[in-house]
Structure 1
Amino acid sequence: MTFEPLIEASLAIQIHFYTVVPAFVLGTVQMVLPKGTVVHRWNGYIYMALMMVTATAAAFIPSFMGRGDALIGGHFGYIHLFVVLTYVTVPLALWSARRGDVRGHRGAMIGLYIGGILIAGGLAFMPGRILHETVFGPV
């Protein structure tokens, strides 16, 4: 394992990485802690803020190195759909919680965690991506 690829990466990639890691940890903790407490609420605010920063940074990361997944002008790829997921889901989850719609809030937050953290995070380990190179070495 070497952090050199991450250290040499663009600022957007570094911001993305350094906000998504604590979001993953906090999101996982949120899944197991009691719901409706002050701790849950504050952890949720921090988690949502981290996810919004993560998504914003991701919007500045170009498509998967030009490997055919570009959607618009070679910059946005299919993985950028998780940016849209986050921009829609975070406000929806907050709005649902403030309305007392526990079911809607739970669904939005679980969807954000599964899509934005687990699926997108899993895709980050694909060969040719910086996280793959950081963890497993060059391809």
Structure 2
Amino acid sequence: METLFQASPAIQIHVYTAVAATLVGAYIFLRRKGTSAHRLAGRLWVLLMVVVSVSSFAIHELNVWGRWSPIHIVSIATLVSLAVAVHFARRRQITAHRWTMISTYVGALMIAGAFSFMPGRIMHDFAVGLSAMAGRSGSALLADTPTLLWPLLAGLVLAGLWRNRARIFGR
């Protein structure tokens, strides 16, 4: 199994921009909304997510349907949701913008990203330091994934939701 550093340039670009988007998104969750810093970070996040999505079309590791896989459907959905979220922001439909961005962050980065840590995938081998996962069961995902990964990702999402609770729930 190849490591991240030996992977194709498309995979490396995809991974590095996904990590950057995860961090920038967490920053946006934790900061005050509507400021010039929020808008700048939001533009950066959208740009990073476009690169993450577009770069996925050069990755053909799973080949479920010919050269395509479910991640390509996620990438198309991500590009559409980014356009919709920007549209909502420009029209000052803040609640719709917020929910579209939160959904995109959780769906495209947290959920889809979690699948990249499945046994046998490059990110799993990178994170765990294993070179092969042949013959391992699905429970290896929980057993071998670094313990702090899942609570850290969940904590970032929950912190963002907690910080925005008044806006989200109309308090």
**TM-score of the two chains, using structure 2 as the length reference:** 0.73
Which runs of 5 or more structure 2 residues have no equivalent in the other structure?
134-171
- Report the CA distance between 1:63 and its aligned residue: 4.2
Give the equivalent residue in structure 1 for 2:80. 88
- Report the CA distance between 1:95 and its aligned residue: 0.7
- Report the CA distance between 1:79 and its aligned residue: 2.2
Tell me the distance in 2 between the aligned counterparts of 1:59 and 1:110.
23
Give the equivalent residue in structure 2 for 1:101. 93
* Counterpart contact for 2:78–2:108, Cα < 8 Å: yes
Tell me the distance in 2 between the aligned counterparts of 1:16 and 1:57.
6
Q: Give 1:85's aligned amino acid.
A: A
Tell me the distance in 2 between the aligned counterparts of 1:81 and 1:48.
18
Give the equivalent residue in structure 1 for 2:55. 57
Q: Give 2:81's aligned amino acid.
A: T
Give the equivalent residue in structure 2 for 1:7. 5
* Counterpart contact for 2:11–2:55, Cα < 8 Å: yes
Tell me the distance in 2 between the aligned counterparts of 1:80 and 1:130.
17
Q: List 4+ stretches of structure 1 deviating above 6 A.
A: none
Select which of 33, 40, 45 maps to 1:42: 40
Which runs of 5 or more structure 1 residues have no equivalent in the other structure?
none
Question: In the alignment, does 2:122 pair up with 1:124?
Answer: no
Residue deviations 1:92-111 (CA, integer Å, cap 9, x gap): 11110000000111111011
Tell me the distance in 1 between the aligned counterparts of 2:51 and 2:71.
16
- Report the CA distance between 1:7 and its aligned residue: 1.1
Give the equivalent residue in structure 2 for 1:16. 14
Tell me the distance in 1 between the aligned counterparts of 2:71 and 2:15.
15
Aligned-CA RMSD value: 1.2
Percent identical across equivalent pairs? 38
If you compute each CA radius of gyration, which structure gives the higher value, 1 or 2? 2
**TM-score of the two chains, using structure 1 as the length reference:** 0.89
